[in-house]
A and B are shown apart, each in its own frame.
Chain A
Amino acid sequence: MMTGKEYIESLRALRPEVFFLGQKIKSVVDEPMFQPHVHTAAMTYELAHDPEYEDIMSATSHLTGEKINRFTHIHHSIDDLVKKQRMMRLLGQKTGTCFQRCVGFDGLNAVYVTTYDIDQKYKTNYHERFRKYLLEVQKNDWMPSGAMTDARGDRSLRPSQQKYPGAYLHIKEKLGDGIIVSGTKAHITGAINSHEILTMPTRTMGEQDTDYALSFAIPADTKGVTYVFSRQTNDTRRLDGTLDAGNPKYGIVGGEALIIFNDVFVPWERVFMAGEYDFTTELVETFAGYHRSNYGGCKVGLADVVIGGSNWIAEAHGIGRASHIIDKLTEMIAMAETCWSCSLACSYEGYKTPSGAYHISPLLANVTKLNITKMVYEWMRVAQDIAGGKIITLPTEKDLDNPETGKIIEECFSGKEGFLPRDIIKMLRLIENMSVGAGLPEAMHGAGSPAAQKIMIARRSGIDRKMELAKTVAGINKDSDFERIVGKDENDHWDEVKKKIREKTVQIS
């Protein structure tokens, strides 16, 4: 297992082609705009070595029996699923942002489950190939980015009907030793600071989209792969100093990027799906299930930070014991712990798949994520309420450092005795970073938008059975449990009751 430092150094061996702000980036690790994201991913490595956290940050490989970073592990028990959630919350607490590595982690598990099932039907050898790849991932402690979402172009058209074929990643040519692929994957978290790219189809594919039913893994700096790093709210503040960025160490969300594949060669041993369109739904839903379950862990870790920050700032402002503040903080805590309960529940209700790997409860995972799409906005709204308008009107760090203006700014922003003005500004900036920035739409759309969750919930809710339950309680269906309790046919029972009422006694024999 690599340490945080070793992970950062390992990235130096890669030479990905990355563009940002119109420029080609020479070194991902040394670029100040990228460093917060690199530090956050490094936390997933560092904590695995800490005796205080290793129990949830590491696992035992089912392939080798060796100790590995949990982010490279295939879940083999309910305990694994629960520990994954605990790891998500822990890392959210430690960084206050997205730590990126869970996407590839969920991709590894989803591909593991699905390749097994493809092989059962088609007698292919994808699963064996994937196990070999997984062994490499575990041995090298790689971070693969999970590349699922395509650019998608005109969404009223199927992938194969797009005007620009590059809107979806697809097979251009099949060769004896591999495939040639082209297309784009969008919003890919942690892409520029990952060792590998693990691709998956973005949606259910039909027979006409066979070339788009595709999963493979390649090194991040493979020839023909180009990254365009995404713009974020207030992102260039990190070039202005350390204060204004709010979370200068770890940044905002995951550092997403567009990945362009231009005639990229993938050897067959790293191809895990190539045309089996009837398994695209399984792969997408398995991945989505794992990934949606995470949000009740990681976002709750972030909530822990923002709740703590809100309480601290209220105390610094001298209103920490005000009843409305306590009420608001309690609301935030209740919302966060509700999401945490969802996350734990979908793990505890998990199940063993035919591959032997464990999957979470898909219904509860989608409920978890749907709650997150609303509750993160709500607890961040309350954080803004507590922190006050200062989070969007504070002067800059440079004005704070300027002798002509700094002293009066410090006086203006001083708080209760014992709280330093600069610390108050630091905390307000952190709350601004977390509650105003890209983290909100990330909670909405990351792992799929609310409509996608509602489709899955509706499909798996068992609504027909609920109707039967209602019909039984209402007396439309026969209720054999009730009949055993009263010791007779339900109709006979009610006839007797009616008779007794008529006889002006409700005593039932």
Chain B
Amino acid sequence: MASMFSIGLRYCGGCNPQIDRSKLIRNLKEGLKKIGLQVDFTTDRERAVDIVLLINGCMHACLEEECLRSGHNPKRITVRGEMVDDQHIEERSIPAFLSKKIMDVSQFFS
């Protein structure tokens, strides 16, 4: 049996986020459930995962900098305030946008 698609969830420090990060993840999980995609989310940084989802509260994206500095470059999707990777996305549309991205990536892995 194939193992469940796994996502390593990383949050930035959250000093002054421009988006509601918890709500975003809540809505994302609900959205993935609705489209029938089972995903194992983990915040355990030691666990091997299929992709990493970086949740930065603002466009400055401390987590992205951290990744670049460490030279650790996993397959990742980056939320930077109202941006996902290099696209401007309104906060309310981010969960649906991420669901589609995750769906695409998971199909690549399956």
Contact = CB atoms under 8 A, between A and B. Distances in A.
A413 interface: no
Interface string B54-83: 000011110011000000000000001000
A184 to B, nearest CB: 33
Interface stretch (A127-135, A137-145, A345-353, A489-497): A345-353
Q: Is the interface of A mostly helix, strand, loop or mixed?
A: loop
A462 B80 CA distance: 15
Q: Is the interface of B mostly helix, strand, loop or mixed?
A: loop
Interface of A: 78, 349-352, 354, 361, 462, 465
B10 to A, nearest CB: 18
B61 A352 contact: yes
B87 A351 contact: no
Contacts of B64: 352
A349 B60 contact: yes
Nearest to A460: B18
A47 to B, nearest CB: 30
Contact of A354 (B16, B17, B20, B87): B87
B86 A354 contact: yes
Contacts of B17: 465
A351 B87 CA distance: 13
A350 B60 contact: yes
A351 B80 contact: yes
Nearest to A78: B65
Contacts of A462: 16, 18
A201 B60 CA distance: 27
Contacts of A350: 60
Contacts of A349: 58, 60
Given A349-B60, A351-B59, A354-B86, 9 more contacts: A78-B65, A351-B58, A351-B61, A352-B61, A352-B64, A352-B86, A361-B60, A465-B17, A465-B20
A462 to B, nearest CB: 6
22 contacts: A78-B65, A349-B58, A349-B60, A350-B60, A351-B58, A351-B59, A351-B60, A351-B61, A351-B80, A352-B59, A352-B61, A352-B64, A352-B86, A354-B86, A354-B87, A354-B88, A361-B60, A462-B16, A462-B18, A465-B17, A465-B18, A465-B20
